[in-house]
Amino acid sequence: MIIGIDASRAITKQKTGTEKYSRDLIFALAKVDKKNSYCLYVGPNYDSSFDNLPKNFKVVIINRRKLWTQIGLSLEMISNKPDVLFVPSHILPPFTPKHAVTTIHDLAWKYYPEAYSSKEIRLHDLGIRRAIKKNASIIVYSKSTSSDLKKYYKVDEKMICFVPMGFNSESSGGTASEKIRDISESPYILFVGRLESKKNLVNLVKAYEMLRSERRINHRLVLVGKPGYGYEEIKKEIEASKFSDDIVETGFISDADRDLLNKKAELFAFPSLFEGFGYPILEAFVAGIPVVTSKISSMPEVAGHGAILVNPKKPFEIAAAMSQIINKPDLKSKLIKAGNSELSKYSWETCARATLKVLESK
């Protein structure tokens, strides 16, 4: 069987969640599947990422920069059609084999359309409608995304395939920068993610101010991530805070830097308003730090018993949860232990084998 995979997003330089998912899943498939043949379709920016995969994997470079999916990948499907096409990130091309598989990561744009351009919204909508029209298998890795697909698109239950998210608990092995090492030397609360409205950072900053009213708490708040939609409002809230000097923005950082910040944090605060999955929660579990996160969207699924769940729209509730962790060592230890147990649900091998089952299903 020949399995084609759109690997174009897996080779981007600054990878966010969906790009990392594509890359890590491809490497995991290479470990568990020696019998099928794979064609990895990439653009002209290919960086040799997959050159050392097993012999049953080959890279196909499609030399087109504009309309890569719509025209480039479609033409490849017409001239050299695989038995199945898998698009782990982005949308299916107009022309596909009879069996097509795609991953829908979330429907955040339905909840926060203001954070997306009209073009992005059209593409997301087109991706789902095209998958439905082609009767494609739709992979999801959270029950909340499955519910959203049924809610907004009336997707047939038979089309939806739940596959547990993969996770690599190994550290990057790199050396953190001097700037990050300096930050990690004193107590801090950590947030990792894009600095945007749906991450609820305005309320996190308000909660942080409340927390600092406790005299014995002098932790800084470290915000890791690039600015996104609504950053101006977040920045305004930070600057208005009397503790603004203790709120640190790092911008986008390396894996090694993130590993160190996770490891040394007092706790991980992730009171997001919406997540397709909430990958940073698992990274906090690996680092052995307790988590405060939201009791909505996919976050309760991911966190399980390893976090204090709060109403993200109530800063006082966020502050109270952070205070409990800092002031109650026994609670902190209990959460860390529970978070470590939750990790057993996630592995790239499990994800790859479940994905392969979907790819071979028709």
What is the domain partition of the chain in residue ranges?
2-166+347-359, 178-345
**178-345: same fold as 2-166+347-359?**
yes
For residue 169, the model assigns a pLDDT of 76
- Report whether CATH 3.40.50.2000 matches the domain 2-166+347-359: yes
For residue 37, the model assigns a pLDDT of 98
Buried/exposed 329-352: b ≥16 CB within 10 Å, e otherwise: eeebeebbebbeebeeebbbebbb
For residue 17, the model assigns a pLDDT of 77
Q: Spelled out in words, what is the top-level CATH class assigned to the domain 178-345?
A: alpha beta
**Residue 310 pairs with which residues in a beta bridge?**
294
For residue 65, the model assigns a pLDDT of 86
pLDDT (tens, 9 = 90+) of the chain, 362 residues, equals 999 999 999 988 766 778 889 999 999 999 999 999 999 999 999 999 999 999 999 999 999 989 999 999 999 999 999 999 999 998 999 999 999 999 999 999 999 999 899 999 999 999 999 999 999 999 999 999 999 999 999 999 999 999 999 988 776 668 899 999 999 999 999 999 999 999 999 999 999 999 999 989 999 999 999 999 999 999 999 999 999 999 999 999 998 999 999 999 999 999 999 998 988 999 999 999 999 999 999 999 999 999 999 999 999 999 999 999 999 999 999 999 999 999 988 999 999 999 999 999 97
Q: Which residues contact 144 (CB under 8 A, 6 or more apart)?
A: 276, 297, 298, 301
State the Cα–Cα distance between residues 317 and 53, nearest whole angstrom.
48
